[in-house]
Structure 1
Amino acid sequence: MKIIVSGGGTGGHIYPALALIRTIKQKHPDTECLYIGTEKGLESRLVPRESIPFKSIHITGFKRSLSFENVKTVARFLKGVSRCKKIIREFKPDVVIGTGGYVCGPVVYAAAKLHIPTIIHEQNSVPGLTNKFLSRYVDKVAICFESAKSFFDEKKVVLTGNPRASEVIGEKRRGVLSGFGLKTTLPTVLIFGGSRGARPINEAVVKSFSNFAQKNYQVIYATGDVHYEAVKKEIALIGEKGNIKVVPFIHNMPEVLRAVDLVVSRAGATTLAELTALGLPSILIPSPYVTNNHQEKNAKTLLENGAAFMLLEKDLSSAKLVSLIDKILLDREQMEKMQAAARKLGIRDASWRLYEVMENLAAKAKS
């Protein structure tokens, strides 16, 4: 099978696409994949590293306010569609999938107009502008949250989950904690604020250090590269604590997630897919700076199902954070209830569900 994949802008759109390609390649090494992204986006750096053929188009997103820039964006979109049609005719894909971000617009639209089977993958509980637009033209809409179904034509919708979930599943590896200089026998919470970190979370966590030091659990805290030095200076004033490990970034996140008992994080779709696949309880602090406030809506899905607690950034404080961590890590019954609830929401075979949809569409087109 020949597949064109497109997704860009943020890791939340790119990582699921890469996870899907990796899974397909493992089981079907003869599958040919082509990735279409923007020339300056994160995908232009991440995709070639995976030795996946990459072609770029020039496209920008729409401004949400009235702006002359939107006229230019329409022109770029039409030019992008023309280039994508050329790429598609040359590559001759059996199916085209878009995993989000404005770069998907011309790619998936061009494929639909050329009568190539098309799918969009929506990671969030509330779709973005591009996927709302494309949903009118595609054959299938793959979703990760049941609540996203109401935004699309029900006949097109299929619940597949997020392919990233398939990459984190595995045996619990407590030994990973030794690499942080921590004990393998104590309950452990991982705290992070996304790849770049989050200042409000950093401030609350640093203020909690003295409190954490007295607890019968341990803390791994990833500050984000941008904030690491500032946090280290503040820690120096308080003094190092034996049950707390501070790092700028975690490169082996799947292994670390399999070693910990609780996660405190933002509520990005990829993170939530990983947490639920592993059955990990969480305390979610949604970013208030995202489109359509989708992180809060993502978090509410886990909250309403008993898999997480939600703490809004405006309500975040050291006292509230420590209290919620205590409530989970120091109460085995509470933790086990949340583990079961998270596991119930998790879709561990997401990549295969998505691949099956693609395979069926391609077969139907050939028949």
Structure 2
Amino acid sequence: MSAGGGATSLVLAGGGTGGHIEPMLALADALRRREPGLRITCLGTARGMESRLVPARGYDLRLIPPVPLPRRPTPDLLRVPGRVRRSVAETRALLDELDADVVVGFGGYVALPAYLAAWRAGVSVVVHEQNALPGLANRVGARLAARVTVTVPGTPLRRGEHVGMPLRSAITTLDRAGRRAEARAAFGLDDDRPTLLVFGGSQGAAALNRAATAAADALTAAGIQVLHARGPKNTDVTVPGRPAGTAPYVVVDYLERMDLAYAAADLALCRSGAVTVAELSAVGLPAAFVPLPIGNGEQRRNALPVVEAGGGLLVEDADLSAAWIEATLVPLLTDPAALCGYAAHAAAAGVPDADERLADIVLEVARDR
């Protein structure tokens, strides 16, 4: 219950990218299922994806000034302290207005001012880190938090508790085997062929597009059908139609229903963003992970626990080619026993109830307050 005597007020800070927003909304859904009377408010910025996604899921969105942090020293770095002060002041006023009991942060440029404002206001903080390598906002937040939670075991974050990645119920409740026929029919795939799913995030990935389309003949000649999400801007990525009676290669711009795509597939070829890795392991779909070759190496670290558990393969971006697909994925996709083993290990590495685990922690902190 809030300090003012009303319903418990929870403020969730996870704007910016889908990797922050999706776990935030999955937690919000879990909390609402538990206690419909909770007051749940999401923080975001006008320019982030949250301005569209949060209201669409039925949650109140309040906007705060973003505090983007330069990755390397630039003159813009000198302006950061002033931006932080202004954003923290506005966020503090908002927390007072909402009579917040707990702030739950998911990292990024929305979370940092939320953590600092909560600390100044005496509001309890819970941190959730999605990646194997934490960002600056969560490293700061962990020092101020009542509880710190992580997706990947061994994440170097102070007092981190492993809970996994909160995911949408459409993913965590997916019966892949039970929906396989429906899913394959939805994408125009044959019911009984081994199936490779290729995707590179919402915008696609050029390296995956090149390698997969170059391997199209080898894949379909082996009886393997492909569902390939190329990205909405990559309209030049095409594959000639397959002759009648042979394995289809279906190219789409974007996958609105990832649950059906997962149900249709036996193996994925994809990047290894934190949400992607968590979703695949939660549904027991093995993957060949191709970490993004830029940044701090977090995508490689995200995939390693699943790969080391036997639930997938890891190939560096520079090594991915049509020849690698033909030499490595074609034999795997045509070996049902091997696929089954990979799927079992992927599922064993997954945490399908992370949303409930995190909800337990948040409600416990709220009760303690």
TM-score (norm 1): 0.93
Indicate yes or no: 2:24 matched with 1:24.
Answer: no
For residue 348 of structure 1, what is the aligned residue in structure 2? 352
RMSD over aligned CA atoms reads 1.7
Q: 1:231 aligned to 2:234? A: no
Quick one: distance in 2 between partners of 1:258 and 1:357? 31
Tell me if 1:34 matches 2:37: no
Is 1:54 paired with 2:61? Answer: yes
1:246 to 245, 251, 256: 251
Report if aligned partners of 1:168, 1:258 keep a CA contact under 8 Å in 2.
no
Q: For structure 1, which runs of at least 5 residues remain unmatched after alignment?
A: none
Alignment pair present for 1:128 and 2:132: no
Structure richer in helix, relative to its length: 1
* AA aligned opposite 2:237: V
> Which runs of structure 2 are paired with 1:143-154 in the superposition (5 Å)?
143-148=150-155, 151-154=156-159
TM-score by length of 2: 0.92
Cα shift readout 1:70-108 (whole Å, capped 9, x = no counterpart): 121221111111111101011012211011211100012
How far did 1:27 drift?
3.6
Residue of structure 1 aligned with 2:165, choices 162, 167, 183: 162
Q: What is the deviation of 1:242?
A: 4.5
Confirm or deny: 8 A CA contact 1:191 1:219 kept in the other structure. yes
Match of 1:106 in 2: 113
Q: 2:264 aligns with which of 259, 262, 272?
A: 259
Is the contact between residue 166 and residue 350 of structure 1 (CA under 8 Å) also seen in structure 2? no
Would you identify which runs of 4 or more consecutive aligned residues in structure 1 move more than 3 Å? 236-242
Match of 2:100 among 70, 93, 96: 93
- Contact 2:241/2:249, CA 8 A, preserved across alignment: no
Task: Report the secondary structure of 1:231's partner residue.
Answer: coil
SS at match of 1:309: strand
Give the letter for the 2:212 counterpart.
Answer: V
Gapped regions of structure 2 (runs ≥ 5): 1-7
Match of 2:223 among 201, 216, 223: 216
- SS of structure 2 residue aligned to 1:74: helix
Q: What is the aligned partner in structure 1 of residue 4 from structure 2?
A: none
CA deviations on 1:305-328 (whole Å, 9 max, x unpaired) are 211101111111101023222232
Confirm or deny that 1:11 pairs with 2:21.
no
Aligned to 2:196: 189
Letter in 2 for 1:265: C
Q: Distance in 1 between matches of 2:331 and 2:82?
A: 54
Number of equivalences? 357
CA distance in structure 1 between the aligned counterparts of 2:170 and 2:35, rounded to whole angstroms: 17
Q: Pick from 302, 309, 331: which aligns with 1:327? A: 331
Does structure 1 conserve the Cα–Cα contact (< 8 Å) formed by 2:196 and 2:225? Answer: yes
Residue by residue, what CA displacement relative to the aligned partner does 1:266-298 show, whole Å, maximum 9, x if unpaired? 000001111111111110001112x31100111
- The 1-side partners of 2:237 and 2:257 are apart by 21
Contact 1:281 1:342 in 2 (8 A): yes
Whole-angstrom distance in 1 between the partners of 2:241 and 2:226: 18
CA contact under 8 A between 1:283 and 1:324: conserved in structure 2? no
1-structure distance, mates of 2:100, 2:328? 49
